[in-house]
A and B are shown apart, each in its own frame.
Chain A
């Protein structure tokens, strides 16, 4: 039997992803978020799951260390990895937005500072708009940057927008809708097509059930 390695993103969407996998009959009996174990097997051992940091999922999958991965589109876009993005799992919904404290639009000819955890997404977005910006990479609490004058704008993911509001920031523009996706290594898709297709079909079925 072909064994598949699945990289699952820790954090925000892990619980919902596992719930969906369970509905698709892919169950990891010894999984526990509190455990320090990083490798788990499903009941018939056809799938080996590795539980890794969300930003690393695309790396594991692109390099072929994992055949498939479950991760947010925010990380996929930032990684610019060469892989298949075969299924929208319709969970972990959020948005990439540009927000600011006192700027409400981009004035042509002016140059801005933008703080973000997602520097590639930021660069691409402003390149597309033709606005020159200086990008400042931050690893957390990005909302702070405009407040203390480190940047004019931020690009970040928001779910409800409450963190922005509490810090007095307003959304200037929406960049992209985000949800959790199933990604697949291109070589694995070619050499283990049937096994991967089976997982996709199972997940699709579970998603359809959910919709009803």
Chain B
């Protein structure tokens, strides 16, 4: 990575951190090394083979942080069976995975939030609104949040009583919206006609949330599935109050491979990036695995995937230096004293000892030359002279050249 890319990446991260803070979320950390046991007993979350493992000197197997939601929930659940307050956390942390087929190690930075202690539609909407606010902040051209509901599909499959292999096949077809194969599947498996109708309709339950809910309600649904639709509708109405409903579509065939999601799930897509740049959802049952009952919802952005979709001209650019100070050995003390004075006042200053000419690569708002008894300050064609460093500082302040750090 070159310095421009590092700068843009850090600037985006700073902007995101600031946004999390404006919603009242507090930053949190999780350890880099974690016990493998935490993940070993959990199925349907992080693929065990994708984790990067190491062994400590007692023979304990450790993994490099493969996930953030799980250790956070575990930590919280260990200390509280229930919580009465609402906890809003954000993080920007690296997660480590090993690609299964290529043996390639992958380190990716995730920026995300977790909101513990509320299962209300208002909490869901706050989280989705925050995700949309972040996407607006980074100035991506076009983005869409796809909402889904993992409960909707789970309620459907409990009625089907399919074998594991058949279910996996059906999930594959639904995830591909492969109507041809779905139709053949329902015929082959002799499902009740009500179920056939719902499954065949799934790929088409995509689009404007209210329209999709209306369409879905015409299907022969189980009562619990209708309740789910009402819940999505409630969330959507809060999103309308935020004034962001135009960014949201509903996809009732959305299935997330993370088993811990229990209710609403969502993913964010931006132009020119083939994969979701953010994923999230409600995971009310995850804390149960640690003997607690804590409703929670969260999401995480993949920072590098997000960056790959932002056009170069829209990436944050490094500002030029505020001032460059040129001086000879004779004026060394004068030059360094001025540099110190300016730096103490937060100006970005580069000193060039033993140089009288500015090199072409350096870009600065002010070029300052130290002469025997005075400073010569040049900005474009404008030239000013100051007798003391205090006067030079005053001049810079008056001209207000300071770039935002």
Contacts and interface: CB of A to CB of B under 8 A. Distances in A.
Contacts of B273: 64, 187
A25 interface: no
A1 to B, nearest CB: 13
Contact of B274 (A85, A181, A186, A193): A186
A105 B369 CA distance: 91
Contacts of A63: 274
A156 B270 CA distance: 38
B297 interface: no
A9 to B, nearest CB: 18
Nearest to A76: B176
Contact of B269 (A86, A181, A190): A190
A88 B175 CA distance: 16
Interface of A: 61-65, 82-86, 88, 128, 181, 185-188, 190-193
Contacts of A185: 274
Interface in B47-105: none
B395 to A, nearest CB: 50
B189 interface: no
B147 to A, nearest CB: 11
The residue among A63, A85, A187, A193 with the most chain B CB atoms within 10 A of its own CB is A187
B176 A187 contact: no
B106 to A, nearest CB: 16
Contact of B270 (A82, A84, A128, A191): A191
Given A190-B144, A191-B143, A85 B270 contact: no
A83 B273 CA distance: 13
A2 to B, nearest CB: 9
B144 A191 contact: yes
B114 interface: no
Contacts of A62: 274
Contacts of B180: 85, 88, 181
A84 B176 contact: yes
Nearest to A184: B177
A59 to B, nearest CB: 10
Interface in B262-316: 269-276
13 contacts: A64-B272, A64-B275, A82-B175, A83-B176, A85-B176, A85-B181, A186-B269, A186-B275, A187-B276, A190-B144, A191-B144, A191-B269, A192-B271
B270 A187 contact: yes
Nearest to B178: A85
Contacts of A128: 165
A130 B273 CA distance: 38
Chain B CB within 10 A, most for which of A65, A190, A191: A190
A191 B142 contact: yes
Closest 5 A-B residue pairs measured CB to CB? A64-B274, A187-B269, A190-B269, A190-B144, A85-B178
A200 to B, nearest CB: 11
Interface string B229-246: 000000000000000000
B121 interface: no
Contacts of B142: 191
Given A190-B146, A190-B269, A84 B274 contact: no
B249 interface: yes
Contacts of B151: none
A83 B177 CA distance: 9
A180 B272 CA distance: 25
Contacts of B249: 190, 193
Given A86-B203, A187-B274, 7 more contacts: A64-B274, A65-B274, A84-B178, A85-B180, A186-B269, A191-B142, A192-B271
Contacts of B269: 186-187, 190-191
Contacts of B276: 186-187
Nearest to B179: A86
Contacts of B165: 128
Nearest to B172: A80
Contacts of B178: 84-86
Interface in B166-191: 175-181
A188 B142 CA distance: 10
Contact of A85 (B143, B146, B177, B271): B177
Residue in A61, A85, A193 whose Cβ sees the most chain B Cβ within 10 Å: A85
B177 A187 contact: no
Nearest to B177: A84
Nearest to A80: B172
Nearest to B165: A128
Contacts of A83: 176
A146 B120 CA distance: 63
Contacts of A84: 176-178
Contacts of B272: 64
Contacts of A61: 274
Contacts of A192: 271
Contacts of B207: 193
Interface string B214-252: 000000000000000000000000000000000001000
A191 B271 contact: yes
A83 B395 CA distance: 60
A50 to B, nearest CB: 15
A61 B274 CA distance: 8
Contacts of B143: 191
A85 B271 CA distance: 20
Contacts of B175: 82
Nearest to B254: A186
Contact of B275 (A65, A86, A187): A187
A86 B176 CA distance: 7
A85 B178 CA distance: 5
Contacts of A186: 269, 274-276
A62 B175 CA distance: 14
